[in-house]
Structure 1
């Protein structure tokens, strides 16, 4: 069955989650933070994801903005920088306007040129996603933005992936699901989507019940996979 619908994870896939810490580290007066930023960015993302999984298992949902703040607070404390309220607020402000990866615009334009439906399916809140999309200038290249807040549970719950068929009326086999998160792609593949893992770091494939159909270094190969 041909691909009709291309669905993208947002954070780490379209938007560079390390950009907030990287930009803050380059600003005047943040020389101390500059020595810590790679570790903070790594821990921030790790804790952010861990808290989504744990909250889903515990049945204690909080929106992704709260989880993002909680992850940052852990990361700053781990580096002894939790007393800098101004730094915290700056990092959170930058996170709402993350840079998109360089190939995103060209890739989405190629998909829209041949008539594919395109959408984001994300843990992010509608407000977070709207801010990032406007900042990146990709709003007119997306048919919809689907947030887990509609179902009240984070990925990889099946209820999240159900949102795609409910919105686009497509069979699972018509969907190409794209994520930089190996666990997300594994879950989507198990669900029945065609999948592409954007493995920018060259990590091993996660040991999950299903594996990604394709592994790419970036998003440039997505139009070809989708038949564009």
Structure 2
């Protein structure tokens, strides 16, 4: 069955989640950050994801902006950094994450071919709107679907249900793209055709559901969508 709809995770898939720490580290007066920004970026992302899963299990939902701030607090504390101004700057930069270089032309090809395109993300609508506008890709997305519409994080099935409701399409007509191995596994088990953007060259997750395609970046997505 032909693909009609391409759905993308946002953070780490379209948007470079390391960009905030990297950019701040290059600014004047950030010598300490310059020495440890890769560790901060890695721990920030890890804790961000862990907190979404833990809050889901605990049935204590907080939106992704709150979770992102909590994760940053942990990452800074792990490096012994207490700097309110730096924290505020990093959170500001997280609203303005850049897209990976292949993203804009890839999305443009999908739209020119008449496919539906959207984000399905843990991010809040406000975060995602700000980041996609800043990255220059909002115009090539038909919609932004946030977990805040259902009040629970990925990989809950009700999150993936939003795609079919929005685009009136069967799961097999959806090409779902994520850089997160766990997200790729869950979406595949749900019934989507999944392309895993394995930017970090990691092994496939030992979970139900395996991605149909494994890519190093998103430049091959139009071909997978039949363009």
Aligned to 2:201: 202
2:63 is matched with which residue? Answer: 63
Per-residue CA deviation, residues 1-34 of structure 1 (Å, 9 max, x unaligned), is: 1000000000000000000000000011101110
Q: Please state if 1:75 is matched with 2:79.
A: no
d(CA) in 2 for partners of 1:166, 1:54: 27
- Which residue of 2 is the match for residue 105 of structure 1? 104
Residue 92 of structure 2 is aligned to residue 93 of structure 1 = yes
In the alignment, the residues of structure 1 paired with residue 102 and residue 208 of structure 2 have an alpha-carbon distance, to the nearest angstrom, of: 30
Task: Kindly provide the CA deviation profile for residues 114-173 of structure 1, in whole angstroms up to 9, marking residues without a partner as x.
Answer: 100000000000110010011011111011000000000000000000000000000000
Per the alignment, residue 54 of structure 1 pairs with: 54
Provide Cα deviations, 1:78-119, integer angstroms capped at 9, x if missing partner: 0000x2001000000000000100001100011011100000
Aligned to 1:32: 32
Distance 1:46 1:62 in 2: 17
Q: Secondary structure at the match of 1:119?
A: strand
Q: Aligned partners of 1:56 and 1:214: how far apart in 2? A: 29
Matched residue count: 227
Matched, 1:152 2:164: no
Displacement after TM superposition at 1:70 (Å): 0.4
